[in-house]
A and B are shown apart, each in its own frame.
Chain A
Amino acid sequence: MDYADEFRNREIVRGLAARIARLAASLEKPLTFMEVCGTHTMSIYQYGLRSLLPPEVKLISGPGCPVCVTPVGYVDRAVAYARRPGTILATFGDMLRVPGSFSSLMEERARGADVRIVYSTLDAVALAAKHPDRQVVFLGVGFETTAPTIAGSILTAARQDLKNYFVVAAHKTIPVPMQVLSSDPDLGIDGYLCPAHVSTVIGGDAYRFLAEEHGVPCVVTGFEPADILQGLAMLVAQKVECRSTVEIQYRRFVTREGNRQAQKLLAEVFTPTDSAWRGIGVIPESGLAIAEKYAAFDAEKTLPVTVEEPQEATGCLCGEVLKGKAAPCDCPLFGTACTPEEPVGACMVSSEGSCAAAYKYGE
């Protein structure tokens, strides 16, 4: 068993699709489920899973692409740091092409800024250790999956007594925005495919309030095709049986309580804060700010830069796409003014963005 092929097995996938169709046949009205996580969105497109679903089951994409929900103002701030003399801007690759109000990190790199792609937060700390005369600014973007690794990088830098490692923190937490979306009557969400990796950290119980207080079925689901179809079958079954609970399909990694060690790291380094989500607006207690104790590593506090008032691109429907209210092809810019080569909105840039997935893999 190699834990990949089994979950991409054609017969198993067909069997699950047939089970969904059988269950859905007894439904009185069609169901709309939201896949929250961008990796789910990508996987659904990559394997062509929509083409295997019965018409009664509709999937809409949620706000779980970290780059996509990051507001333009943050990109502008990143650009300002990239232009700052003596700075090495370290980032995960996805942020490079996201358009800010006037520029992107890729353009800044072409103009001579020192922008480095790293694959691990510790690589960014290593850069700081290697270049003591420069300031290494890391773009801390992402959900609960990435946030512990950033926390770890800050603790590592503290242990090494590095004075030149800084994080621009814009981490977001996922459960509260899910509640905001499920209470939107326009969306009519019948259930959530809850994110896989985020849930390894926060645990299945983090969604209990959604299932128990708000009556929204939740299934924590893995990213492979068989995972996704099994998760959907579990959601449809809950609807058929008029239940609303948190179930874990991704049992090979996710527990009810989550990863306590990672949660401890988060609690040590970050404090909850209100956070602005592109397309949704400011949601209370939905972000993570660097705690006062580690303020020395907080770029915004220790290395201030001036950033102009951000300007959102006109005509871009990213916000509606992120809420699941519009499909990528509903946007007038999709595939014409906005392409992966010349993106207008972040959803067209990120490898987890709905528009990028729709453009690359077709509808």
Chain B
Amino acid sequence: MDKDLILLGHGSGGKLSHQLLEQLIIPTLSGTPLAGQNDAALLEHERGRLAFTTDSYVVDPVFFPGGNIGDLAINGTVNDLAMVGAQPLAISVGLILEEGFSRAELAEILAAMRRAADRAGVTIATGDTKVVPRGKADRIFINTSGIGLVPAGLQLGGANARVGDKILINGTIGDHGIAVMSRREGLELETEIHSDCAALNGLTADLLAAEVELIHVLRDPTRGGIATTLKEIALQSRVSITLDEATLPLKAPVRGVCTLLGLDPLYVANEGKVLVVVAATAAERVLERLRRHPLGSDAAIIGEVTADGNGRVEMETMVGGLRAVEMLSGEQLPRIC
């Protein structure tokens, strides 16, 4: 393999992305307060801790069932802040437009951004716009950065999962990836699948207000799906995780498309989902609380932290067999966010 080439898989959120980060990006840029292994960096400040994060959005197609690149760009960054327990304060927006892009479509995207920001209770505080010649970008790319305030005493992080903890999710998996994929490939489905794109800061604030001591990890399983995110948690926390496939919330049409295209829903992206790792004593209470929330009606307990260990993730399959779960390798679906 030609080591010099950047491949699409390097942007997939899976193993190749990790390699690029660990071998090149983090070592070269270290010394700056990088988010490293969590969704947002935490900056100590005399008046409290600030969370800081950034993300770029290159989804193709720009408009998909259930959203567009605009609300995705706001919600994605809001969610990265929410996952470290921060309440978002302000967001910046960088637009890169391709010459010839439609002004009406841009207006629609901006309106979606504004609506998403209002819903999440965050201000769009600053921004920048560049236009590049036709063919030098694909219609529109958006970068958003966000800062948020972390309440004192809060300790959330991928390394905090403990033996005995339960793993919960607030709803069905794979909706976003399959919504984008089916639009991009022009799949004609009887039931249209909508992206789950949503801001989760209200839901996470709700959970943390009630169970701040017992919630150990919050993570949004975006690119790479729940498999990759759970593997990351298992590795960071040095524990083993066992999933129960029969409990995984999955919409029938999403499962259908996955079967058709040979995709594993465990690896398909979500944009409105959170994995909650919580002490067993609080698991049922958190489940109830999730289910009462509009973004959590399909919530379920999907697994548990079974042992200290080397980061192994296993799944009891729906027929009772046992198999390993690894990170996404290469690209499953490129440019879904």
Within 8 A of B (CB), among A99-115: 99, 103-104, 106-107, 109-111
The interface-forming segment of B5-13, B31-39, B120-128, B141-149 is B5-13
**Majority DSSP secondary structure for residues of A touching B:** helix
B26 at the interface (CB under 8 A from A): no
Question: What are the residues of chain B within 8 A of A50 when measuring CB–CB?
Answer: 321
Least Cβ distance of A163 to chain B in Å?
A: 26
B-side contacts of A106, CB under 8 Å: 7-9
Contacts A47-B323, A49-B319, A340-B330; is A351 near B252 (CB within 8 Å)?
A: no
Residues of B contacting A226 in the complex (Cβ-Cβ under 8 angstroms): 319
Chain A residues, CB < 8 A from B325:
361
Beta-carbon contacts under 8 Å, A153-201 to B: none
Within the complex, the shortest CB–CB distance from B263 to chain A, in Å, comes to 9
Q: Which residue of B lies closest to A360 (CB)?
A: B326
Query: Quick one: given A97-B330, A119-B185, A341-B329, are A110 and B319 in contact (CB under 8 Å)?
Result: no
A 304-363 contacts with B by CB, 8 A? 339-342, 351, 359-362
Interfacial chain A residues near B210, Cβ < 8 Å = none
Which A residues touch B323, using CB under 8 A?
Answer: 45-48, 361-362
B25 interface residue, CB < 8 Å from A? no
Interface string of A195-218 (1 = CB under 8 A from B): 000000000000000000000000
- Residues of A near B190 (CB, < 8 A) are none
- Interface of chain B residues 180 through 236 with chain A (CB within 8 A): 185
- Closest Cβ of chain A to B265, distance in Å, is 12
Q: Are A110 and B6 in contact (CB under 8 A)?
A: yes
Is the beta-carbon distance between B321 and A47 smaller than 8 angstroms? yes
Of the candidates A48, A111, A119, A360, the one whose C-beta lies within 8 Å of that of B317 is A48
Is residue A131 contacting chain B, with contact meaning CB distance below 8 A?
no
B259: A residues at CB distance < 8 A? 4
* Cβ contact within 8 Å between B319 and A47: yes
Q: A268-281 interface mask toward B, CB cutoff 8 Å, 1 = contact, 0 = none?
A: 00000000000000
A-B contact count (CB 8 A): 88
Contact of B321 among A49, A97, A339 (CB under 8 A): A49
Tell me whether B252 and A2 are in contact (CB under 8 A). yes
Number of interface residues of A (CB under 8 A): 36
The docked-state distance in angstroms from the alpha carbon of A50 to that of B6 is 38
Q: State how many angstroms separate the Cβ of B315 from the closest Cβ of chain A.
A: 8
Q: Are A47 and B326 in contact (CB under 8 A)?
A: no
- A122 on the B face (CB < 8 A): no
Q: What is the distance, in angstroms, from B177's C-beta to the closest C-beta of chain A?
A: 15
**What residues on A are CB-neighbors of B252 within 8 Å?**
2
Q: How far is the CB of B132 from chain A (nearest CB, A)?
A: 18
Name the residue of chain B whose CB is nearest to the CB of A351. B262
Quick one: CB contact mask for A129-151 with B, threshold 8 Å, 1 for yes? 00000000000000000000000
Whether the pair B329, A52 counts as a contact (CB closer than 8 A) is no
Mask, B314-337, CB within 8 Å of A = 1, is 111111111111100110000000
> Which residues on the B side are within 8 Å of A22 (C-beta)?
none
With a CB–CB cut-off of 8 A, which chain B residues contact A260?
A: none
Contact with A along B114-144 (1 / 0, CB 8 A): 0000000000000000000000000000000
Nearest residue in B to A344 (C-beta to C-beta)? B1
1/0 per residue, CB under 8 A from B, across A25-64: the answer is 0000000000000000000011111111000000000000
Of the residues B19, B261, B324, contact of A362 by C-beta under 8 Å: B324
Q: In the bound complex, do residue A48 and residue B321 qualify as a contact, i.e. CB atoms below 8 Å apart?
A: yes
Which residues of B does A touch, CB under 8 Å? Answer: 1-2, 5-9, 15-16, 19, 185, 246, 252, 255-256, 259, 261-262, 264, 314-326, 329-330
**With contacts A50-B321, A106-B7, A340-B330 known, what are 15 further pairs, Cβ within 8 A?**
A2-B252, A4-B256, A9-B319, A47-B321, A48-B319, A52-B320, A99-B1, A103-B2, A225-B317, A341-B329, A359-B326, A361-B323, A361-B324, A361-B325, A362-B326
26 contacts between A and B (CB under 8 A): A4-B255, A8-B319, A13-B320, A14-B320, A47-B323, A48-B319, A48-B323, A49-B321, A50-B321, A52-B320, A103-B2, A109-B8, A110-B7, A119-B185, A119-B261, A225-B321, A341-B9, A341-B19, A359-B326, A360-B324, A360-B326, A360-B329, A361-B325, A361-B326, A362-B314, A362-B326
